[in-house]
């Protein structure tokens, strides 16, 4: 007797998807990289800075409409808010391409504190509740740049402020039903769109991450390699080294042993390359082409030929049937930590130089290495506008 399985309900699937998004590690650089790639950084910068200054002016404008002799400490606080917000606006405008993650978290924390202070000190609880709608701006920022967990903390701070003001309003004699209605409306206004955006961003992030890996070998693909070279370095004078490997006569493997055996060879080669230089990035960028990219520090011995020979050797011993590889090597001039470079253009130049070196090795008979030109970086200063 067959057992009929009940399909998962839409609620169960939504719950599972929400849990997966919550547990997924958020990649701070992904949205920034997307804005740079699409040329949207300037418009985003303008929108964030203008919104920040408008919200920062609110407490001061309200104080200017009151009796100047009353509660001077509130006027002082309003001035502090606009001064600090102006400082953040300058940092946001000058950051290339954007604030680093710690500074961005400080910005979020400061914004939540000032928004709460502005709402709690408004002349009248109802105005305070209305002022809480300003949290929608910072919650939207958090959704795009910091993900679900920081959003939960920011949302909790907004809900706490709404709760405190609601209690005050009820204590002052306003009917509870009216206060609850206004409070829940404010919470719905500031949370609904960010939550829906958060779910969508989570789904898109998972799909985008999957698109950065080669489905056969599990290594990076060309898109993932471009993402990897953007990863901030921790040393001044970083040198990027690219080893481009093309398997010699790989078509004969497919012809003689079948495509399944050829796929097995590609998987074995990618695994061997990953193990040969564990701290390097390995990518499959073509049918039988692989790239190994590593970062080195200027002033330390490069040993490029030795590493290239190591890669060539591991390819020879990595699979059955055995294959060989022609290896081209290119490297960049040292990249100062103070220089914001166009990493996409840098990688393209490194790949072109390594490709030329690889073809030189292949024309010389294959199964050998060749070191190509050093790629200059002085003209690669990136404009993030």
Residue 245: in which H helix or E strand, if any? strand 238-247
Rounded Cα–Cα distance for residues 129 and 131 (Å): 5
Per-residue pLDDT, 68: 62
CA atoms within 13 A on the CB side of 353: 21
Per-residue pLDDT, 275: 92
Backbone angles phi, psi at 366, to 5 degrees: 80, 175
DSSP string for 260-276 = HHHHHHHHHHHHHHHHH
ω into 97 cis (within 30 of 0): yes
Per-residue pLDDT, 53: 93
Per-residue pLDDT, 224: 87
Burial of 120 (0-12, 13-18, 19+ CB in 10 A): middle
Burial of 151 (0-12, 13-18, 19+ CB in 10 A): buried
Per-residue pLDDT, 381: 64
DSSP SS3 for 350: helix
Q: Residue 95 corresponds to which tokens in the numbers above?
A: 């950051």
Contacts of 355 (CB under 8 A, 6+ apart): 244, 328
Per-residue pLDDT, 7: 47
Per-residue pLDDT, 76: 87
Per-residue pLDDT, 247: 94
Rounded Cα–Cα distance for residues 265 and 323 (Å): 8
Backbone angles phi, psi at 328, to 5 degrees: -110, 140
Per-residue pLDDT, 20: 66
| Percentages (nearest 5) of helix, strand, coil residues in the chain | 60, 10, 25
Rounded Cα–Cα distance for residues 120 and 359 (Å): 69
Per-residue pLDDT, 17: 64
Q: Which residue has the tokens 């202070």?
A: 117
Residue 281: in which H helix or E strand, if any? strand 281-284
Per-residue pLDDT, 307: 87
Encode the chain (385 residues) as per-residue pLDDT tens digits. 444 444 456 667 666 766 666 666 667 777 787 787 778 888 999 999 999 999 999 888 888 877 666 677 888 888 999 999 999 999 999 888 888 889 999 999 999 999 998 898 887 777 888 889 999 999 999 988 988 889 999 999 999 999 999 998 898 888 999 889 999 999 999 999 888 888 777 777 766 667 788 889 999 998 889 888 877 665 567 889 999 999 998 888 888 889 899 999 999 999 999 999 888 999 999 889 999 999 887 655 557 888 889 999 999 998 888 899 999 999 988 877 666 677 888 899 999 999 999 999 999 999 999 998 888 877 776 544 4
Rounded Cα–Cα distance for residues 217 and 236 (Å): 33
Per-residue pLDDT, 69: 65
ω into 321 cis (within 30 of 0): yes
């Amino acid at each position: 007797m067959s057992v009929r399985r009940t399909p998962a309900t839409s609620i169960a699937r939504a719950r599972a998807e929400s849990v997966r998004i919550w547990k997924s590690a958020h990649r701070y650089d992904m949205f920034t990289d997307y804005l740079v790639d699409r040329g949207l950084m300037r418009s985003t910068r303008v929108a964030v800075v203008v919104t920040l200054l408008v919200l920062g002016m609110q407490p001061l404008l309200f104080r200017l409409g009151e009796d100047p002799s009353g509660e001077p400490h509130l006027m002082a606080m309003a001035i502090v808010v606009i001064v600090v917000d102006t400082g953040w606006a300058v940092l946001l405008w000058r950051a290339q391409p954007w604030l680093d993650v710690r500074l961005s978290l400080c910005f979020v924390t400061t914004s939540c504190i000032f928004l709460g202070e502005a709402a709690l000190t408004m002349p009248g609880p109802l105005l305070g509740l209305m002022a809480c709608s300003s949290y929608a701006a910072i919650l939207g920022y958090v959704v795009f740049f910091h993900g679900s967990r920081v959003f939960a903390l920011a949302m909790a701070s907004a809900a706490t402020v709404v709760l405190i003001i609601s209690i005050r309003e009820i204590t002052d004699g306003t009917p509870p039903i009216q206060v609850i209605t206004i409070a829940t409306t404010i919470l719905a206004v500031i949370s609904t769109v960010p939550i829906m955006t958060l779910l969508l961003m989570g789904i898109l992030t998972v799909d985008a991450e999957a698109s950065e890996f080669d489905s056969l070998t599990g290594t990076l693909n060309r898109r993932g390699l471009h993402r990897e070279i953007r990863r901030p370095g921790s040393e001044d004078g970083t040198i990027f080294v690219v080893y481009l490997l093309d398997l010699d006569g790989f078509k004969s493997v497919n012809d003689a042993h079948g495509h399944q055996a050829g796929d097995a060879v590609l998987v074995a080669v990618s695994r061997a390359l990953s193990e040969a230089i564990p701290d390097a990035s390995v990518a499959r960028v073509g049918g039988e082409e692989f790239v190994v990219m590593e970062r080195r520090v200027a002033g330390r011995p490069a040993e490029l030929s030795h590493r290239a020979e190591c890669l060539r050797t591991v390819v020879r011993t990595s699979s059955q049937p055995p294959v060989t590889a022609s290896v081209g090597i290119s490297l960049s001039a040292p990249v100062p930590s103070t220089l914001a470079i166009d990493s996409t253009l840098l990688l393209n130049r490194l790949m072109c130089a390594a490709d030329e070196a690889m073809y030189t090795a292949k024309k010389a008979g294959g199964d050998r290495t060749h070191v190509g030109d050093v790629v200059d970086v002085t003209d690669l200063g990136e404009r993030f506008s």
